[in-house]
Amino acid sequence: MSSDQQRKFDVIVWGATGFTGKLVCEYIATKYPQLRWAVGGRSESKLCAVLSSLNVTKDVIVANLSDDTSMDALCSQTNVLISTAGPFAKLGTPVVAACIRSGTHYVDITGEGQWVRSIIDAYHEDAKSKQLKIIPCCGLDCLPSDMTHLLLTQQLKHLNCHAVNTVRLTVDSVKGGVSGGTVSSIYNMFENLSTEELLRTTDPYYLYPRATNSGPGPKGFSTKNPVLKPTSTSVHARARDVLMPAFDTKFIQAFHRIYDQEECHTPWGLTMPWVMQAINTRVVNRSIALAQSEDKCKDGCDTSALVYTEALQVPGTEGRHSEGPLRRLFNLFMGLIISFTYCCVMTPITVCVLYFPLTRRLFKLLVLDPIQSGAGGPSKEEMKKGYFNGISYGIGVRVKDSDLGKAGTDMQRAQEGPIEEVVVYGSVNIEGDAGYMKTAVMLTECALSLALNADKLPSEAHNYGIVTPAIGLGTTVVDRLNDKSNGSSGITFKVFNA
């Protein structure tokens, strides 16, 4: 990419007239008044209206997706392009292509796994050769998940683990609204994907690197498949999506480590599928694979068998101290009914409605069109009342302290002497609607990590291309989000030892 002095802007917001795009502009205008930024899109009048509503004067750049020249002219003026214009499967590819032609870094808020797969196949090698970072999924899908995996894995490595086996994020509580863009993206996926491709998206390793030759792949991976999946059948079994309710005792341990039992409550540990695992786990698994590529086990810690999963604590089973034992048991019973109904009734019905053309058209008429013709998303007051709280744990193994003095590496000693399990815990707390208000914050801070903190970012070969937030940004964006010096972002990541 050209040096910062040769670019007029630090960031350009593409799709600034959309629901999330307006929130991004508002956040930048409020928190970073000195930033060099502009807005871009197809309608000059609408873009000017957005800036006028914020009482700011910034450059307006008009471009058309069907005109490569205008898109290149836009992208060549900025160090980083922020894209909020979806559905990305319809509108995103020309933007990515223009960024790569222009040597511009890129971030977006997509949660469309099938589109991410398509741009990986089409542009990864080109972007990598130009040392560009094209980073999709920088909002609620999938930044909290990817950073949770990265932070816990790093902490386990810091505690001398020679292998990391498990990272699990459980959404403890969540409240937020839905916008027309989100519903439209889901509708578009069922409208345009073949049955075969829809089935492929259910694979947790859907976004893994593809096998490019018949030679040996990175440690623990096979090149006999379309993508470089782990060879271990036990890893495959552990990596499957959560499909049914289950009790998770380690979630209870994590909860008690993070929160004061006397001030909070004692959960039952009943979990159920979390809807966003369908994209989050795929992105995190890509992070794991890219970190493993090119023999990246230089730190002596093996993550080839690392499995990342997600779940949602069943609402109503938190077990608050103010409730008596009978009430707690009743809530547990109702939680079981709710979770099994969701898994066995609601999910299959929703999939069927969206899969078949006739019912899909009815869904568009009765659900999608009214949302898009309305405000486009939740109101500001509704977003302020939102929240997202996640609790996580990571499990690794290391040589027992009594064996640390022996000759050889941890990996060698582990094959001879006793090892012990190490557990660490983490939390991510978001104040405000995580899917929109705080997605705008996460997206902007990812962009500013690229634009303003390039010297702090990971810069090995595997950190470039169509990459994930963890691979492209490291913990730099976490540091920005946790930093309170310029006002709180409302997003906090923490890590705890057992």
Judged by average pLDDT, the poorest of 135-144, 154-163, 363-372, 395-404 is 395-404
- pLDDT tens figures, 473-489: 999 999 999 998 888 89
Q: DSSP E strands: which ranges in 282-413?
A: 307-313, 387-399
- Residue 369: its pLDDT value, please? 79
- Residue 14: its pLDDT value, please? 98
- Residue 224: its pLDDT value, please? 46
Mean pLDDT, the chain, rounded, equals: 88
Cα–Cα distance measured from residue 325 to residue 321, given in angstroms and rounded to the nearest whole number: 9
CB 423 within 8 A of CB 380: no
pLDDT over 70 percentage in the chain = 87
- pLDDT tens figures, 357-401: 999 999 888 887 777 666 567 889 999 999 999 999 999 999 886
Cα–Cα distance measured from residue 117 to residue 202, given in angstroms and rounded to the nearest whole number: 13
Buried b / exposed e over 68-80, threshold 16 CB at 10 Å, is: eebbbebbbbbbb
Mean local confidence (pLDDT), 140-166: 95
Residues whose CB falls within 8 Å of the CB of residue 307, separated by 6 or more in sequence, listed in order: 165, 166, 167, 235, 238, 239
- Residue 194: its pLDDT value, please? 87
